Amino acid sequence: ILNVEQSPQSLHVQEGDSTNFTCSFPSSNFYALHWYRWETAKSPEALFVMTLNGDEKKKGRISATLNTKEGYSYLYIKGSQPEDSATYLCAFTDTGNQFYFGTGTSLTVIP
Amino acid sequence: GAGVSQSPSNKVTEKGKDVELRCDPISGHTALYWYRQSLGQGLEFLIYFQGNSAPDKSGLPSDRFSAERTGGSVSTLTIQRTQQEDSAVYLCASSLSRPQGEQFFGPGTRLTVL
């Protein structure tokens, strides 16, 4: 069983604050790291897929970095807005067939 | 175009009954996954279908769980003799390719076993 850990488990921030979360994964047999956003009553939707050490991805105010050697990825949100409130999931895929999801970071942005 | 659909959206059943959950993936997606999320837990991989290859069933928690995918499209997850610990949200996802491929998730089926 592979452990993918996310921290913090939950987070409350004020509108306008910047924030970041961590995803830790095994550094061996790495293939890809995925970030998803899961809003209440909706389906998870993909944010980023990263495959190379040092990868940085950006989509609007959200960005992510990847360190495959030490086994972590950071997700950053700049100037948080209430609509950013969701659970952010990361998933690790190795050279096998499975996706291993973390338990997520629940973000609440307070207006 | 249409996304991934799942039915039913909610299912309440009694312990010991069998249930069937359905997933309609995005047309043309060759990969299909089933996951479940129990209360307070992360997404747990159950089974993976890729084209005509034999499915990866390594995530199925017991032999009460089975799944099939007909004609490379619609998939059905069957749980026999349901137990209370089977209560969870069951999510289906499809993608064009894996493991780099972005997964598109359905809305899920919330299963409650009384």
Q: In chain A, whose CA is at the least distance from the CA of B110?
A: A41
pLDDT band per the 50, 70, 90 thresholds, residue A95:
confident
Minimal C-alpha gap between A39 and chain B (Å): 11
Is the pLDDT confidence value at A16 over 70?
yes
DSSP-assigned letters across all residues of B39-108 = TT---EEEEEEETTSPPB-TT--STTEEEEEGGGS-EEEEE-S--GGG-EEEEEEEESSSSSSPPEE---
Higher pLDDT, B38 or B18: B18
Instruction: Give the bridge partners for B5, in sequence order.
Output: B24
Helix then strand count (H, E) for chain A reads 0, 11
Would you say A100 and A92 are in contact if contact means Cβ atoms under 8 Å apart? yes
φ, ψ of residue A89 in degrees (nearest 5) = -110, 140
pLDDT at B63: 95
Contact A91 B3 (CB under 8 A): no
Is the pLDDT confidence value at B39 over 90?
no
pLDDT at B98: 62
Which of B44, B48, B103, B110 is best to mutate for the A interface (most A CBs within 10 A)?
Answer: B103
Q: Which residues contact B50 (CB under 8 A, 6 or more apart)?
A: A97, B30, B31, B56, B98
Query: Rounded CA gap, A20 and A62, in Å?
Result: 9
φ, ψ of residue A17 in degrees (nearest 5) = -70, 155
A37 touches chain B (CB under 8 A): no
Minimal C-alpha gap between B70 and chain A (Å): 21
Tokens of B2: 């249409």
Question: Which among B45, B50, B108 has CB closest to A99?
Answer: B45
Kindly report, residue by residue over B80-110, the tens digit of the pLDDT: 999 999 999 999 999 886 656 788 999 999 9
b/e burial code for range A56-86 (CB count within 10 A of at least 16 → b): ebeeeebbbbbebeebbbebebeebeeebbb
pLDDT at A100: 87
Q: In chain A, whose CA is at the least distance from the CA of B43?
A: A101
B104 touches chain A (CB under 8 A): yes
Cis-peptide into A26, omega within 30 deg: no
3-state secondary structure of B35: strand
Kindly report, residue by residue over B40-74, the tens digit of the pLDDT: 777 888 999 988 888 889 889 999 999 999 887 99
pLDDT band per the 50, 70, 90 thresholds, residue A37:
very high
